[in-house]
Amino acid sequence: MVNEEQISLFDLGSSSEPIAPKEPPKDFDPDLIPTSAKIPVPIGTYQAMEQMGKHCNQCHRCDLGENRTHAVVGRGNLNAPIMIVGEGPGQTEDETGLPFVGKSGQLLDKILESVKLTVEEDVFICNVVKCRPPENRTPTSDEAEACKGYLLEQIRMVDPKIILLTGATAMKNLVGIKQGITKVRGQWIDRDGRLYMPIFHPAYLLRNQSRDQGSPKWLMWQDIQAVRSKLDEIRGA
């Protein structure tokens, strides 16, 4: 659902092009991936999410690994048709090793349940960065870039048809969109055989409790219904 304040994604220019992963050197050693952001993460490096998770828990590609309790890799169906990409773990996520399990995650689960979607069957959830930024701050560009190879591998392994980008950090790092979320939320981006949609982050909805028409929660309801309809269309329901 697009209103007059939104920007057409077709008018955003070349900045919306994703960054391709770098080619590995000839003497590439995958065990070096966690040691430095200078080491690429080639497409096809990991055969399973558990294998990647071991690297994430050893990772020092950026400074976020210095203070982590657990790397937060993901949760949900590893063959899900829908992937939700958030920003980064919070305190509860760092403690449990699971994404979106605090208040934001509880709200996200309720939003999914409202259109009969479940993490067990329909959704895989992960973040741009796998370690908690101090004080839950926004990840820096360098931190996001250091973790990007892991995220691209997750997309390849899960192979979702739909990717929901929760907030500005996910939008910027996966599709290069730098405009505010209110300008582009609810619009479909067709790229590389997948459909992307920017949506409000659940934390933003917790700060904006109104359900009036045009409010963030009302708009989220429109967006998640559109996602449900698109999934049914893809499945031929």
What domains, with CATH codes, occur in the chain? 9-235 (3.40.470.10)
Q: Report whether pLDDT(237) > 80.
A: no
More confident residue, 13 or 211: 211
| Strand 189-191 versus strand 123-127 pairing type | unpaired
Q: What is the pLDDT of residue 229?
A: 98
Q: What is the pLDDT of residue 41?
A: 95
Residue 41 per-residue DSSP state: -
At residue 18 the predicted structure's pLDDT band, cuts being 50, 70 and 90, is: very low
Q: What is the pLDDT of residue 8?
A: 52
Helix (H) or strand (E) holding 232: helix 216-235
Could you tell me the maximum CA-CA distance found in the chain, to the nearest angstrom?
58
Sheet holding 82-86, edge to edge: 75-76, 123-127, 82-86, 162-166, 194-199, 189-191
Backbone angles phi, psi at 34, to 5 degrees: -70, -10
Q: Report whether pLDDT(14) > 50.
A: no
Q: Report whether pLDDT(3) > 90.
A: no
Q: Report whether pLDDT(16) > 70.
A: no
Q: Report whether pLDDT(72) > 60.
A: yes
Q: How many residues does the chain have?
A: 237
Residues 112, 170, 46, 136, Cα dihedral to 10° = -90
Q: What is the pLDDT of residue 27?
A: 78
Task: Please write the tens of the pLDDT for every residue from 88-141.
Answer: 999 999 999 999 998 999 999 999 999 999 999 999 999 999 999 999 999 999
Task: Please write the tens of the pLDDT for every residue from 32-56.
Answer: 999 999 999 999 999 999 999 999 9
Backbone angles phi, psi at 198, to 5 degrees: -75, 135
Q: Report whether pLDDT(2) > 50.
A: no
Task: Please write the tens of the pLDDT for every residue from 175-223.
Answer: 999 888 999 999 999 998 999 999 999 999 999 999 999 999 999 999 9
